[in-house]
């Protein structure tokens, strides 16, 4: 069967209004990549897959929810959509709004959005407003604007975002034949962890495919769900999850406890080290997307989790290409040589010894 996006494939599984229109860029159906080498380097004895959500049309998992949120907004006659964003939501909203012929307004925290994400929002014709504040400040402004004006909010407070995002859980169960034992993923505003837990429970109710334990991982400098209180000035190299007051925090904590999992924090160094390990296996993700696996590694190293004989899926939420500056900062820059055959040959052979 030809794959025509998450609405076409799964809309009968979604609690969405009749008026929702299919507005698709053929999102979803992302690869579940076996990672045997990485599993070995984490101690071995278990099976590991990466659900590479960076392979969606705008390079992140946000497309799964945005196709539904924008389709719903367009179907009820909205002309303008709005969101706050650390970057990926903005790029996704801009693309799907363009597809549906809607105006898109995005609010982003000044100086804290990766270049590729901002460029995406601009390329698709969104009105981008940078504010002197955090993502959390931006979210409270857009919520108020959408309450006062006929402008549709497409952040994950919008329930139709979750209806679309939960389809990733269905895909994992379909490929593996049942749910994995563990699902690891990064947590920012906590829409995605909430969506996965909804998806796994729904699929289990229909197909008795089991339920995973969920390991949600925040960045240490912005870990409100670990600390138990909001973080006023969140900081992390993983700018996608630089969020101090998660809108779906309660649901995230429930997903972790009901599933027998947990929410934990990983440091920026641990996140960047995992980004390099993933890249060494051929999968280049943005820093936030390495957080889930950074958390898994930390738990395994400290003997706090035992996954021997089990199946673990790590969700890598966004593509590395959207945040190339991080690589320039954290790795060796390329050698620069004159166009001199001997000098180039010498450098190459030195690397071979």
Interface residue list for ligand AN7 (CB under 6 A): 60, 85-89, 156, 186-193, 240-241, 286, 288-289, 317-318
- Residue whose CB is less far from ligand AN7, 57 or 188: 188
Shortest separation between residue 93's beta carbon and ligand AN7, angstroms:
9
Which helix (H) or strand (E) segment holds residue 194: the answer is helix 191-207
**CA contacts within 13 A on the Cβ side of 74:** 21
Shortest separation between residue 353's beta carbon and ligand AN7, angstroms:
39
Shortest separation between residue 343's beta carbon and ligand AN7, angstroms:
40
- Residues β-bridged to residue 264: 217
Q: Residue 18 to residues 7, 74, 150: CA-CA distances in angstroms?
A: 12, 12, 20
Rg of the chain, C-alpha, whole Å: 20
Contact call for residues 151 and 78 (beta carbons, < 8 A): yes
Shortest separation between residue 139's beta carbon and ligand AN7, angstroms:
8
Taking the C-alpha atoms of residue 181 and residue 241, their distance in angstroms, rounded to an integer, is 25
Shortest separation between residue 347's beta carbon and ligand AN7, angstroms:
36
Phi, psi of 249 (to 5 degrees): -60, -45
- Residues β-bridged to residue 214: 183
Contact call for residues 129 and 108 (beta carbons, < 8 A): yes
- Residue whose CB is less far from ligand AN7, 46 or 288: 288
- Residues β-bridged to residue 109: 131
Shortest separation between residue 217's beta carbon and ligand AN7, angstroms:
10
Residue among 300, 344, 282, 260 nearest 45 (CA): 300
Shortest separation between residue 197's beta carbon and ligand AN7, angstroms:
12
Q: What share of the chain is helix, strand, coil (3-state, %, to 5)?
A: 50, 15, 35
Which helix (H) or strand (E) segment holds residue 195: the answer is helix 191-207
- Residue whose CB is less far from ligand AN7, 100 or 168: 168
């Amino acid at each position: 069967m030809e794959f025509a996006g998450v609405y076409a494939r799964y809309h009968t599984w979604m609690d969405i209004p009749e008026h929702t229109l299919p507005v698709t860029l053929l999102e979803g159906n992302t690869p579940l990549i076996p990672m045997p080498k990485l599993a070995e380097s984490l101690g071995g004895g278990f099976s590991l897959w990466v659900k590479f959500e960076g392979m969606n049309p705008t390079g992140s998992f946000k497309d799964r929810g945005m196709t539904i949120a924008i389709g719903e907004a367009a179907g009820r006659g909205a002309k303008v959509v709005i969101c706050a964003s650390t970057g990926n939501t903005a790029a996704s909203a801009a693309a799907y709004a363009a597809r549906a012929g809607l105006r898109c307004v995005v609010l982003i925290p000044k100086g804290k959005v990766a270049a590729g994400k901002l460029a995406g929002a601009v390329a698709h014709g969104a009105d981008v407003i940078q504010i002197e504040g955090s993502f959390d400040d931006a979210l409270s402004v857009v919520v108020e604007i959408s309450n006062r004006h006929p402008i549709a909010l497409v952040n994950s407070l919008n329930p139709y975002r979750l209806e679309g995002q939960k389809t990733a859980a269905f895909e994992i169960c379909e490929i593996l034949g049942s749910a994995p034992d563990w699902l690891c993923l990064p947590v920012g505003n906590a829409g995605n962890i909430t969506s996965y837990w909804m998806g796994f429970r729904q699929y289990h109710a229909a197909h008795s495919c089991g339920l995973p334990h969920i390991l949600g991982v925040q960045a240490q400098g912005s870990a409100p769900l670990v600390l138990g209180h909001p973080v006023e000035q969140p900081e992390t190299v993983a700018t996608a999850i630089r969020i101090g007051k998660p809108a779906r925090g309660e649901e995230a904590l429930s997903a972790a406890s009901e599933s027998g999992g947990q929410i934990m924090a990983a440091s920026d160094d641990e996140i960047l080290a995992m980004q390099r390990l993933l890249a060494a296996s051929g999968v280049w993700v943005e820093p936030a997307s390495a957080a889930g696996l950074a958390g898994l590694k930390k738990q395994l190293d400290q003997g706090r989790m035992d996954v021997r004989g089990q199946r673990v899926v790590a969700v890598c939420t966004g593509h590395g290409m959207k945040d190339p500056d991080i690589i320039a900062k954290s790795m060796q820059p390329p050698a620069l040589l004159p166009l001199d055959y001997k000098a180039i040959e010498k450098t190459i052979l030195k690397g071979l010894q």
